[in-house]
């Protein structure tokens, strides 16, 4: 059986992907154009690698990845072997060939993780095709997890994927209590109003995420952008309203998923339950805008999980971020 490198989509490769998507594999079934874009279209700063194992005219399996042109990491995007060709060493051969194809003078490690710039959307099991836009690692329930272990990959982080159906969402009673207590200290959650609120840039600087700062400032400075929920603090001496946290924006994606760019509270204003209050208010606002569900993932040790769980979100899948160092 030959393993060849493909530079464009083929019928047999696409059919193989569709056969296992949304079933054994959680990957969302992609339209032909989207499949082509994900695996073959040029991507600035990266070189895409796609290897196919062929048995005659049929694709028996494939492996895909990315070479990052300005770092020491190459990323595994996906590997799939048709059921009838398993336990013949084909998966190992494909992975070894992919690693060899992705190795450059800079490459020091391979990763299968949510940091992959070319992640794939996946379907939450047991839902009416409710999806999440990025695959956050190796599904720990799938046999592929053991396969990756046997190929020399090790866990370096765990991601819990959360899901919440918003149809019957009601803000929990204990969050209402948090809201009342926060109000006594001058805090509230509301929509950002450029004519009323100040301190957005200072707030985002204190949070310390350049990505979130760019997202938030772009949102509040763009006419017609989806509304942004913020935590405000009313200054006792002059009654002005300072922005001290954010979440959102309040935007419903085409799939019915409630969007979440991020959530954070400025360090000097933590300890008042504002994170939980922000997120619960976001769930309610998204429901009012017609969102059917929310999905997100966060690290196993990330304290933010308490925020999501307080709103009623449940873990539906656990993923491992895996790495293999080149010796």
pLDDT, tens only, 304-322: 899 999 999 999 999 999 9
- Would residue 154 count as lying in a domain? yes
Distance CA 163, CA 39 (A): 27
> Per the domain annotation, does 167 fall within a domain?
no
In a domain, 112, yes or no: yes
Specify if 149 maps to a domain.
Answer: yes
pLDDT class for 57, splitting at 50, 70, 90?
Answer: confident
* pLDDT for the residue 94: 98
Query: Same domain for 285 and 248?
Result: yes
The answer on 269 and 214 residing in a single domain is yes
In CATH, what number is assigned to the domain containing residue 59?
A: 3.40.630.30
Per residue in 79-108, pLDDT (tens digit) is 999 999 999 999 999 999 999 999 999 999
Cα separation, 18 vs 34, whole angstroms: 12
Q: Are residues 146 and 204 located together in one domain of the fold?
A: no
Find the angle CA(86)-CA(90)-CA(94) to the nearest 5 degrees. Answer: 135
pTM beyond 0.85: yes
Signed CA dihedral, 179, 303, 138, 145: sign only: negative
Q: Which domain holds residue 282?
A: 173-291
Are residues 241 and 182 located together in one domain of the fold?
A: yes
Tracing tokens 């020491």 back to the chain, one arrives at 72
Is 241 found in the same domain as 154?
no
CA 113 – CA 77 distance, rounded (Å) = 8
Rounded Cα–Cα distance for residues 186 and 274 (Å): 12
Q: Give me the residues paired with residue 68 across strands.
A: 46
Residue 236 has pLDDT above 90, yes or no: no
Same domain as 120, residue 44: yes
Q: Residue 187: which of 105, 278, 123 has the closest Cα?
A: 278
**Coil, strand, or helix at residue 298?**
strand
Domain count, the chain: 2
**Percentage helix, strand, coil for the chain under 3-state DSSP, each rounded to 5:** 30, 35, 40
pLDDT category of residue 10 using cuts at 50, 70 and 90: very high
Q: What is the pLDDT of residues 181-233, one digit of tens each?
A: 999 999 999 999 999 999 999 999 999 999 999 999 999 999 999 999 999 99
On whether residue 163 sits in a domain, the answer given is: no
Residue 19 has pLDDT above 80, yes or no: yes
Tens digit of pLDDT for each residue in 102-153? 999 999 999 999 899 998 999 999 999 999 999 999 999 999 999 999 999 9
- Residue 326 pLDDT more than 80? yes
Whether 322 maps to a domain, the answer reads no
Tally the residues of the chain.
Answer: 327
Query: Do 181 and 139 lie in a common domain?
Result: no
């Amino acid at each position: 059986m030959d393993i060849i490198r493909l530079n464009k989509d083929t019928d047999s490769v696409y059919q193989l992907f569709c056969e296992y998507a949304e079933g054994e594999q959680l990957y969302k079934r992609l339209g032909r154009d989207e499949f082509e874009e994900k695996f073959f279209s040029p991507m600035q700063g990266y070189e895409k690698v796609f290897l196919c194992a062929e048995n005659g005219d049929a694709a028996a399996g494939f492996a895909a990845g990315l070479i990052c042109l300005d770092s020491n990491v190459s990323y595994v995007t996906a590997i799939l072997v048709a059921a009838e060709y398993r336990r013949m060493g084909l998966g190992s051969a494909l992975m070894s060939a992919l690693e060899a194809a992705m190795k450059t003078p800079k490459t020091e490690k391979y990763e299968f993780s949510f940091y992959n710039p070319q992640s794939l959307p996946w379907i939450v099991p047991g839902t009416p095709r409710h999806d999440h836009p990025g695959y956050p690692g190796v599904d720990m329930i799938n046999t592929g997890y053991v396969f990756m272990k046997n190929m020399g990959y090790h866990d370096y982080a765990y991601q819990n994927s959360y899901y919440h159906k918003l149809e019957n969402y009601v803000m929990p009673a204990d969050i209402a209590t948090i809201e009342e207590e926060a109000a006594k200290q001058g805090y509230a959650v509301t929509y950002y109003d450029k004519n009323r609120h100040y301190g957005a840039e200072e707030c985002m600087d204190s949070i310390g995420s350049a990505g979130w700062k760019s997202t938030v400032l772009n949102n509040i400075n763009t006419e017609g952008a989806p509304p942004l929920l913020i935590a405000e603090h009313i200054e006792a001496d002059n009654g002005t309203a300072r922005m001290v946290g954010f979440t959102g924006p309040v935007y419903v994606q085409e799939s019915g998923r409630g969007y979440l760019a991020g959530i954070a509270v400025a360090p000097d204003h933590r300890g008042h339950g504002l994170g939980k209050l922000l997120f619960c208010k976001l769930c309610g606002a998204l429901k009012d805008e017609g969102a059917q569900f929310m999905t997100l993932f966060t690290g196993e040790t990330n304290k933010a999980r308490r925020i999501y769980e307080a709103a009623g979100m449940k873990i539906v899948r656990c993923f491992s971020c895996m790495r293999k160092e080149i010796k």
